[in-house]
Structure 1
Amino acid sequence: MRAAWIDASCGVAGDMLLAALLDAGAGLPAVRAAVDAVVPGEVRLIPEQVRRAGMRATLVRVVPERRDHAHRTWRDVKALLAAAALPGPVRESAVAVFARLAQAEARVHDTDVQDVHFHEVGAWDSIADIVGVCAALHDLGATDVSAGPVAVGSGRVATAHGRLPVPVPAVAELAAGWDIFAGGEGESATPTGMALVTVLAGRCSPLPAMRLHTTGVGAGSRDTPGRPNVVRVLLGTPTAEPGTAEAVVLEANIDDLDPRAWPGVLSALLEAGASDAWLVPILMKKGRPAHTLCVLSPPGRADALRAAMFRLTSTLGVREHPARKTALERGWAHTDVLGARLPIKIGHLDGAIVQATPEFEHAARLAARHDLPVRAVLDAAVAAAHAAGLAHGAPAPPDLATDPPA
């Protein structure tokens, strides 16, 4: 697994992010091949070394190869991507970015999303930036992408629609749910750059724990005094602080699902790789009783679990936020109860037992065999565990099994 973290604290544009990924080691031939597959013979990518605020960076010039370029709608771009000979993950990522960008422009201009006809979606340079970034991430093997807060700028900027406040409406629309700040005068984040970050990065978070391999620095066209006009990408192997792990919490409020379906939904999500899944009773608008479905996911399973939530429930939307999980070291011991070996889950910290809990399913099966209440078997298991020295504060046995019981 390879992690990529995008530092957009000085702003972000599509060509800057592409330059940073190339600077981090993405293969230029792979990127050029992907762009040519979508718009053959229309553009040429030329990287060069520059300095921004006294620091080295890579700049990518996207040079047109034709004098007249077709004006394209989102419908046109989608057809180009579908017909292009692209690796599946590159095509899927590019479609997702363009779709998000088209939705934002459609909302801003109150038009049908299929007919969005703006340079942010149809221009050759935006196609090169978006397809190029998706191909570069694929070439780098980045499977866990995250990004920090984005500097969007301040003041006003001249556009085809007049002088607009910064962030411009499309950037503001795309930034919903993301952490942003001004970070200086002028426009620091473009719609293409904002779409790339918010779609391709699975979460907005501080720099995650990783063994750093390389850093890429991508430059914008301006050299702004006092502020490096760059995007950085840090690439490495994810690591975890002792006892901690990055996680994503997925949530949806649902008021129209048959209650009898919930046990199956929770079981299916756990089988699909959720670390945990649970329901919280809530009261929604008009006094409707409902539930919040919560799913704790490893970052690499968030996409699959989000899709499972849509498939298994009636929700129309899933929100998410990053989390950090701290877990006790754990293992399994056994104790004798009613002539059977009953598993005891041991959680320990710094070599001392913190939790010693009988495994419920095994206790329930044992209770059924002896026609006893489950609580009686659980009480007997706790007493037997204490008698064997498996109690709070006692030293954790050195030979705990790591695999859960069958």
Structure 2
Amino acid sequence: MIGYFDVRNGCAGDMIAGSLASCVDIGEIKKQLKLIDFPTKYDIEIKQIIKHTGKFHGIKANQFIVKLEEKENDRKYREIVSIFKNSKLNEPAKEKILKVFETLAKAESKVHNECLDKLHFHAVGQTDALVEVAFSILALEQLGINEVFASPVGVSNIAPATMEMISGIPAVFRDIPFEITTPTGIAIIVSLVKSYGDSPPVITTGYGYGTGTIQTEFPNTVLFAYGEPSYQKYEKVGIIETSVDDTNPVIFEYLIETLYQAGALEVCFFNAMTKKSRPLFCIRVLCKPEQKEILSKIIFQQTTTLGIRYREEERLILERKIEKVKTKYGEISIKIGYLSGKPVNIMPEYGDCKKIAAEKNVPVKKIINEALRRAIEEMDENRL
């Protein structure tokens, strides 16, 4: 399950928790929160309001309010660690909550030049902030979210710790005279998010808006949406392309071998016609972005091209698994592609089939067909 936070208009702990509140069984999460010995008694109130602004229609959003029974003093970072370590939550939830506060503590420690053992939290160490973080993590766990993505983060009137935490991630700096992203909010985002910008294609299951208490001229809301990925895997790949009309084609076999040995994911050649009716070869190489330099160098060295085009694209791929089946010709590897956990593609490994065909003096197509037949039989019998 994939989760996505739209935080272009900023984020705070209460806004994130509020956005999640529309998607979960709140009563169940409140039961889990009782497994944590918070230092001060509290009560959670979730108010659904319509956020009106000067330029937009109203947005229905949740205000996540933690009411404390008494005023609190500052709290040491190590005290917060103890609160969650000594709780009865499951270990994965503990680890994620502690990661949020570790992210926050390291930022505060750096900007204030104070070691972690002596570090005191002010507002971010109060029970309401602890509840907001714990609620958010438990909500994501209840939804079964295993990957989190987010938009670039909107920031303004930035606290030093917030500035430290947004270093290295996409941010939009806005000319607004108050803070739209708080240290607690950005600590949650930075600790959970896999990447920023577009999410992988997702079939949306649910969504919710969370908001703060400040009335603004823009919708100071966080949107959280979640759902199943429409493909099993999503990744960025590099595309290297060039065209040659004066390279001897006999070298192409060696070029292909060299590119694959260097890590190319795919190498393709296309025929075309260029100026003066010259035959042209278009070379396209699919690669991991970090392989761009070494693969481009090979093309420059092995061909007559004077220039190479490069771009990055998104690739959607199925989850893959290699199994082995026993046939009357021998054991053959089978590649299986899964979509949403169900097999949709089955193909024998050509290398295995080619080797056996040569050894047995049998047409390779017969080996492929036999391996495919056996694979389907074993899948029908739930043995693959």
2:358 is aligned to 380
The Cα shift of 1:43 comes to 2.4
1:255 is aligned to none
2:88 is aligned to 85
What CA distance in whole angstroms lies between the structure 1 residues aligned with 2:345 and 2:77?
60
1:9 is aligned to 8
Does residue 245 (structure 1) correspond to residue 238 (structure 2)? The answer is: no
Does residue 179 (structure 1) correspond to residue 183 (structure 2)? The answer is: no
What CA distance in whole angstroms lies between the structure 1 residues aligned with 2:220 and 2:351?
58
User: How many residues of Structure 1 are paired with residues of Structure 2 in the alignment?
Assistant: 297
Cα distance change on mapping 1:387 and 1:397 into 2, 3 Å: closer
Q: Deviations for 1:339-367, whole angstroms, at most 9, x for unmatched residues?
A: 9435265799xx9999962239xx9xxxx
Q: Deviations for 1:34-56, whole angstroms, at most 9, x for unmatched residues?
A: 16723154322111111224111
2:221 is aligned to 230
1:207 is aligned to 199
1:152 is aligned to 154
The Cα shift of 1:330 comes to 9.4
SS at match of 1:38: coil
Is this contact kept in 1: 2:357–2:367, CA < 8 A? Answer: no
Q: Deviations for 1:178-224, whole angstroms, at most 9, x for unmatched residues?
A: 32223562432211111111212344352333332211111111232
Cα distance change on mapping 1:398 and 1:171 into 2, 3 Å: same
1:341 is aligned to 330
Cα distance change on mapping 1:114 and 1:326 into 2, 3 Å: same
Cα distance change on mapping 1:396 and 1:103 into 2, 3 Å: farther
What CA distance in whole angstroms lies between the structure 1 residues aligned with 2:189 and 2:4?
10
Which residue identity does 1:147 align to in structure 2? F
Q: Deviations for 1:55-114, whole angstroms, at most 9, x for unmatched residues?
A: 1111012222113x1321111111111222333333222111111110111111111022
What CA distance in whole angstroms lies between the structure 2 residues aligned with 1:216 and 1:32?
21
Which residue identity does 1:358 align to in structure 2? G
1:58 is aligned to 62
Match of 1:401 among 371, 375, 380: 375
Provide TM-score, normalisation by structure 1: 0.60
- Aligned counterparts, 1:158-197, within 5 A: 166=158, 168-182=159-173, 185=176, 186-197=178-189
Cα distance change on mapping 1:332 and 1:145 into 2, 3 Å: closer
Is this contact kept in 2: 1:45–1:61, CA < 8 A? Answer: yes
Cα distance change on mapping 1:385 and 1:104 into 2, 3 Å: farther
Which residue identity does 1:401 align to in structure 2? A
Cα distance change on mapping 1:385 and 1:82 into 2, 3 Å: same
Match of 1:357 among 340, 350, 358: 350
RMSD: 4.3
What CA distance in whole angstroms lies between the structure 2 residues aligned with 1:397 and 1:389?
6
What CA distance in whole angstroms lies between the structure 2 residues aligned with 1:247 and 1:355?
25
SS at match of 1:63: strand
Cα distance change on mapping 1:352 and 1:4 into 2, 3 Å: closer
Which residue identity does 1:134 align to in structure 2? I
Structure 1 gaps, min length 5: 158-165, 250-277, 281-293, 295-321, 364-376
What CA distance in whole angstroms lies between the structure 2 residues aligned with 1:335 and 1:77?
57
What CA distance in whole angstroms lies between the structure 1 residues aligned with 2:362 and 2:325?
10
What CA distance in whole angstroms lies between the structure 2 residues aligned with 1:56 and 1:117?
36
SS at match of 2:36: helix
Match of 2:213 among 205, 210, 221: 221
1:43 is aligned to 42
Cα distance change on mapping 1:387 and 1:137 into 2, 3 Å: closer
Is this contact kept in 1: 2:203–2:228, CA < 8 A? Answer: yes
What CA distance in whole angstroms lies between the structure 1 residues aligned with 2:350 and 2:102?
49
Bigger Rg, which one: 2
SS at match of 1:213: strand
What CA distance in whole angstroms lies between the structure 1 residues aligned with 2:361 and 2:196?
47
SS at match of 1:136: helix
Provide TM-score, normalisation by structure 2: 0.63
What CA distance in whole angstroms lies between the structure 2 residues aligned with 1:89 and 1:335?
41
- Aligned counterparts, 1:278-317, within 5 A: none
